[in-house]
Amino acid sequence: MAMGIIGILIPSAFAEWKSGEKFPTIETLALSDNDASLAGKITLVDFWASWCAPCKVSFPSMEALYTTYKDRGFQILAINVDDNLKAKDQFLKRMKPSFNIALDSEKKAVQSAGIDVIPSCYLIDRNGVIRLVHQGWHGKTSTDELAFHIEELLKETEK
| Per-residue pLDDT, 157 | 73
- Mean pLDDT (whole number) for 151-155: 94
Give me the phi and psi of 145, to 5 degrees please: -65, -45
Contact 80, 106 (CB under 8 A): no
Q: What is the DSSP string of 14-33?
A: S----TTSBPPPGGGGT-BS
Q: What is the pLDDT of residues 29-70, one digit of tens each?
A: 767 766 677 788 999 999 999 999 999 999 999 999 999 999
How many angstroms separate the CA atoms of 94 and 139, rounded? 19
Nearest Cα residue to 14 out of 110, 81, 102: 110
Share of the chain above pLDDT 90, in %: 64
Mean pLDDT of all residues in the chain?
Answer: 86
Q: What is the pLDDT of residues 92-103, one digit of tens each?
A: 999 999 999 999
| Per-residue pLDDT, 31 | 75
Share of the chain above pLDDT 70, in %: 86
Helix residue spans in 53-107 (DSSP H): 53-69, 85-95
| All structural domains of the chain | 31-158 (3.40.30.10)
